[in-house]
Amino acid sequence: MSAAPFPKHDYPEDVAVIHHEGKSILLVGTAHISRRSSDLVQQVIEQELPDAVCIELDEKRYAALSKRNTWENLDLKQVIKTRQLATLMVNLILAAYQKKLGGQLGILPGTELLTAAQTAEGLNIPMALCDRDVRVTLRRAWRATSFWKKGYLLATLMASLFDRTELDEEKLAQMRSKDVLSELINELGAALPQTKTVLIDERDIYMAEQIKQTPGTRLVAVIGAGHMEGIKQALAVDNSHRLAEITTVMPGSNLGKILGWTIPSLILLALLIIGFRHGLGELTANALYWILANGIPTAVGAMLALAHPATIASAFAASPVTSLTPLIGAGYVCAFIQVMARPPVVKEFEQAGADIGSIRGWWHNKLLRIFLVFLFTTMGSALGTWVGGYKLFSTLTQ
């Protein structure tokens, strides 16, 4: 049985109707910081009364939008133990940038998605969260991005925090136009092809398959305008066999694991050879140099972050050891100690989105200071490893 078609309403170009295997799917392309998009979503759902509403959200993002006490339930110590501090920081930067732009228009980012959920709930219409788990998306994007492109991506994200671009609804409407969006997506694909594949193409496929699997013959799907063209194309193709592949976090490369253990092994081997060739005195002198070369720059990194004295002492003590194992880095150890010594309060979690856009805010906010501790001590430890390693291998050549 074919789906009853949606009545023809005078909707803008942001709305498109797709027919697929007995389903009539009304795609609503939105901007996540647009009041106009929020109003449009509510209008479409109330007028169409579909069998179900599909929304570009996963469980985590939906909880973050709909629950005010999300920060209260966040266990920072567990985040650090599972080595997800960098993922949390990227999430916070992206959210802060959207919130900053949304603030210019008096609307919180993601309001139109929450409006879709609330409107569906108020009308007793089933709701389907159709986006891939954001943690899987970020991890796959990070794994797919090369080392040098990671630096480019992080620099771009950090620069976005201090961008003073002014937006209004007219500019957002221009950005939602097909030509502009295609150009922006093509630019992302040219600069970061693997990252674009994970962030956009894979999610287009995933959301299209979830929309197809949603019960009902008349569906409204609320999605970001940047996904409109991709989802239209994906709806016409059976990609169900790819779901398992694109929802799996790719393991790290064997080369990375080999290098991770090779460098510490070479350091220890160099110390043993120095002791064998030059005696205990030279071994002790080089071992002390290794400790100082690692400990001092890592401790200095902690000081630059205005870390707690216990964190600074831990940075000096931990770095010479963590540099000899790929299992845990000095940055994670220091971040954990900083959390224990100066835990941020809920207010600082809530304020982090605003503080992250100013230099002073990074040092003033205890949560952001933990990120600084993590970044500066990680860089200090890396510097110490190269300086200490250079000295050891210079001794071997004498």
Write out pLDDT tens, residues 148-167: 776 766 676 666 665 555 55
Which of 26-35, 76-85, 380-389 is least confident?
A: 76-85
What backbone torsions phi and psi does residue 308 show, to the nearest 5 degrees?
Answer: -65, 145
Q: Which two tokens stand for residue 324?
A: 């000899």
The span from the CA of 353 to the CA of 99, in Å, is 7
* Structure-token match 């007028």, residue found: 47
Per-residue confidence (pLDDT) for residue 304, from 0 to 100: 96
3-7, 200-204, 250-254, 324-328 — most confident range: 200-204
223, 30 contact by CB (below 8 A):
yes
In tens, the pLDDT along 107-133 reads 455 788 889 999 999 999 999 999 999
C-alpha distances (whole Å) from 310 to each of 45, 90, 313, 334, 360 are 55, 27, 5, 9, 23
The span from the CA of 371 to the CA of 79, in Å, is 12
The span from the CA of 1 to the CA of 10, in Å, is 27
Element (H, E) at 114: helix 111-122
Residues contacting residue 118 through CB under 8 Å, at least 6 positions apart: none
In tens, the pLDDT along 229-241 reads 899 999 999 999 9
Per-residue confidence (pLDDT) for residue 255, from 0 to 100: 62
Residues in the chain: 398
